[in-house]
Structure 1
Amino acid sequence: MDDHIAIAEKLIKKANKKLDGWGLIGSKHKDVAKLLDQAANSYKLAKSKYKARETYINLAIHHLKTKTKLEAAATAFVDAAHCYDITSVDEAIDCLEQGAATYYQKAAQLYYKEIVERHESEKNIEKAMHFFEKAAELFQNKELTVSANQCYQKAAQLAAQIEQYSMAIEIFKKIATRSLSHSLLMDEAQRHLFNAGICRLCQGDDVVAMDMSVMRYVDMYPIFLIHGRLGVQILDLH
């Protein structure tokens, strides 16, 4: 372990010397980043998580300052987050959020997923739900509707899990509406509307309210009453 720490410290000194020295800007920054990455890995091998985390954060900051590789900066923040113990979930999430903010598109694809998993492992359902919605918005901004719908669906399921039925209903309706605007996803709409109907039952809507909601769903998607007779199933349940 001491050998790995000695190697890491030597690499950091070399990186600092590179920064202070002369050289082509692009080449110098690339060399510094490589040295910091190697130093962080050496600290990890030495099981010095604090030093590894500190070095990864410095690496991320280096990438941000030089504006060379934003994706690499995001990756470094995530590597830093992985150096936190399971008891330090909030600190790890802070690192992951910084990584997500650094590289917008990659955030939705990878980093918010990790943030959610951390929250779910801590049974913090409301925060997990919040980050699923943020990930969905990022996907939607990139017009990745399928991925966005998957994240929205997970957010709706979590809302229902903690009995926030009104929120779950609105999210399921939102997914259905988005699905109806894409020919390949239209058949998915009835499932999302059915889930919204189930949530209405769970929150105790009376017969009149249920009938009205079913008719609104039929207006949105006429096949709702035909395919699988899902609308009829909702009516029969109350």
Structure 2
Amino acid sequence: MASEADKILKSAEKKANSSGGWFSSASSKWEDAGDLFAQAANAYKVERNWRASGIAFEKEADCRLKGGENNDAMNAYHNAAKSYKKSDPEAAVSALHQTIKLLIKAGSFRQAADREKEIAQVYAQDNLDAAKARDSYVRAGEWYKQEEANATANQCFQSAAELSADIGDLGKAIELYEQVGDWSLSSPLTKYSVKEYWLRAALCSMAMGDLVTCQRLLQSFAQKDVTFPSTREAKFAQHVMDACEQGDVEAFQEAVFNYDQVTKLDNWKTGVLLRIKKGLESEVEGLT
């Protein structure tokens, strides 16, 4: 038995496929059909039929475009994405891409950044595709920066850096943490967080087994901010690097333990430190 949503959808399709009458215009036909598809989509939401809801919203968007209502089409595609998120992440991303195309065409880059950030969140959720999530965060961050939404841009670049390390692209993670650190250094409101970004960059270089880059980074950071070498973060990075240079696993473990006693290690740092430890242990084993 057809549900109420099915009945409305059938009426919408009939309207969209009609030839129109003597006293109706093409634009009014698409407007009426779009309204009916929106009603069907919302009715499917009530029934918790998320895929059908998303499809109906996309059909609404098509009608809005044919009727020259681009702003309404943007909203319809975004509504489709919201429904698809409940059941079909890839379809949600596709609908968001359609939204972004229209927003860019309209020059609304701030809103485009918001939608690109949504794409990143869809891909990051449940580890659907960390690499695509990282790329979307970078793209969103660049658009936010362009629109001078610097705080939101930095949040996106931080997420991108974290994901880069998670997928093993440590070089990109270093680049992003340096970038965020440099931008944060220029503002009194964010300067306090710079030492955290620089520590993460240093840890990534050690996880790569590249102590030369780590030394270069620490020297560069000290030149950018003369107070950095005296911070706990800088001292911790130096102790870990010294342990790696000396092939001293015990010194490494002691440095990690002492730092964790005062500043609890988060999951991200724990993961990177485990990479460093494995590399250090492998190097020590290779010498024995």
1:37 aligns with 2:42: no
Q: CA RMSD in A?
A: 3.0
| TM-score, length basis structure 1 | 0.81
Shift of 1:73: 2.2
Residues 136-195 of structure 1: CA distance to partner in whole angstroms, max 9, x if unpaired? Answer: 112111110110100100110011112211110000011112222333222222221121
Shift of 1:199: 1.0
- Residue 58 of structure 2: aligned partner: 57
- Residue 69 of structure 2: aligned partner: 68
Change (3 A) 1:224 1:84: same
Give 5+ residue unaligned stretches, structure 1. none
Whether contact under 8 Å (1:156, 1:168) holds in the other structure is: yes
- Residue 7 of structure 1: aligned partner: 8
Once residues 58 and 171 of structure 2 are traced to their aligned partners in structure 1, the CA distance between those partners, rounded to angstroms, is: 40
Whether contact under 8 Å (1:19, 1:29) holds in the other structure is: no
Query: Once structures 1 and 2 are overlaid, which stretch shifts more, 27-36 or 169-178?
Result: 27-36
Match of 2:120 among 116, 122, 129: 116
Whether contact under 8 Å (2:8, 2:36) holds in the other structure is: no
Change (3 A) 1:65 1:218: farther
Partner AA of 1:231 in structure 2: A
- Residue 157 of structure 2: aligned partner: 152
Once residues 136 and 26 of structure 1 are traced to their aligned partners in structure 2, the CA distance between those partners, rounded to angstroms, is: 38
Change (3 A) 1:209 1:127: closer
| TM-score, length basis structure 2 | 0.69
Shift of 1:29: 6.2
Change (3 A) 1:3 1:233: closer
Percent identity (aligned): 26
Match of 1:127 among 111, 132, 144: 132
- Residue 222 of structure 2: aligned partner: 218
Give 5+ residue unaligned stretches, structure 2. 104-108, 242-288
Larger Rg: 2
Partner AA of 2:149 in structure 1: L
Whether contact under 8 Å (1:2, 1:46) holds in the other structure is: no
Once residues 225 and 85 of structure 2 are traced to their aligned partners in structure 1, the CA distance between those partners, rounded to angstroms, is: 48
Count of matched residue positions in the alignment of Structure 1 and Structure 2: 234
Counterpart of 2:189 in 1: which secondary structure? helix
Match of 1:183 among 188, 192, 204: 188
Partner AA of 1:132 in structure 2: Y
Change (3 A) 1:221 1:57: same
